[in-house]
Structure 1
Amino acid sequence: MTLTIMPSSCKFAASGGTTKFAIYNITDGRLAFKVKTTNVVNYRVQPVYGFVEKRSKADLIILRLPGPPKEDKFYIQWADVQPEETEPEAPFKAGAQIGEVVLTISTNESLLGVK
């Protein structure tokens, strides 16, 4: 696998919360990444696009807003980019995608805080 994410899964309270993830590039090349999700209503991601330098990591913050519990997925897509590339969106707008890793997120209703 060229790109990995840690932790590889996560559980949020249905009442919401924030978790920090690390995206690792284990190659000798620079990668651009794009984050997609199956639930844009309950989640916010920062950054949506970014770069991971060779043999390095980038931070990814996922915020869950309050909402009904369910399992959701995040797709972290990546593409090789040249060192001079300044726009992480560029390879994806051009149709480039080399790989994808899936992050599964679940929520726990018992943590909702309802009496």
Structure 2
Amino acid sequence: MKRYNPLQPHPQAVPPEQVRLLNLQIEPWEDRQRVRVHARLTPFQKPPNLEFEIRTADDQVVASAYIVENIDFDLVITMHLRQLPLERRYFTLYARVEYDEIGLVYQDQQNFSL
């Protein structure tokens, strides 16, 4: 797993305004209580903040995660879904890349079902 290293910057590192999510995937666990989120970022010159949020089809937030000054270019996190009625099976993962100084630089979303 490649990481940000201020002493040895990645040769293709981009400034904060150009940081993007290159890949975003959701992998539900068999228990339907958790999902694994795979995210790949462009190499960056400065660590970004990342925000992930899972919402139901009726816009109810059922999981969220906030990573401050992320140092990984490729990361995997597990998000735990709050107790849901059985009929709720369709969700959207929202992902945001932000910097304290300039705010939102990129956002993406992926629909998925359990």
| Both proteins in one fold, TM over 0.5 | yes
Q: How many residues align?
A: 90
Deviation of 1:34 (Å): 1.1
CA distance in structure 1 between the partners assigned to 2:21 and 2:92 by the alignment: 17
- What TM-score results when the alignment is normalised by the length of structure 2? 0.56
Letter in 2 for 1:61: T
* Change beyond 3 A, Cα 1:74–1:41: same
* Change beyond 3 A, Cα 1:102–1:49: same
CA distance in structure 2 between the partners assigned to 1:66 and 1:36 by the alignment: 15
CA distance in structure 1 between the partners assigned to 2:111 and 2:97 by the alignment: 17
CA distance in structure 2 between the partners assigned to 1:34 and 1:42 by the alignment: 13
* Change beyond 3 A, Cα 1:71–1:10: farther
Q: Which protein, 1 or 2, shows the higher relative CO under an 8 Å CA cutoff with sep ≥ 6? A: 1
* Contact kept? 2:23, 2:41, Cα under 8 Å: no
Is 1:3–2:10 an aligned residue pair? Answer: no
CA distance in structure 1 between the partners assigned to 2:63 and 2:92 by the alignment: 13
Q: Which residue of 2 aligns with 1:24?
A: 40
Is 1:59–2:66 an aligned residue pair? Answer: no
User: Gapped runs of 5+ residues in structure 1?
Assistant: 82-90, 108-115
- What TM-score results when the alignment is normalised by the length of structure 1? 0.56
CA distance in structure 1 between the partners assigned to 2:35 and 2:75 by the alignment: 14
Superposed CA deviations along residues 45-89 of structure 1, whole A, max 9, x for unmatched, are 4xx1113326x223321223442133211111102x4xxxxxxxx
Percentage of matched positions with identical amino acids: 4
Correspondent of 1:76 among 76, 88, 95: 95
Q: Which residue of 2 aligns with 1:38?
A: 55
Letter in 1 for 2:93: F
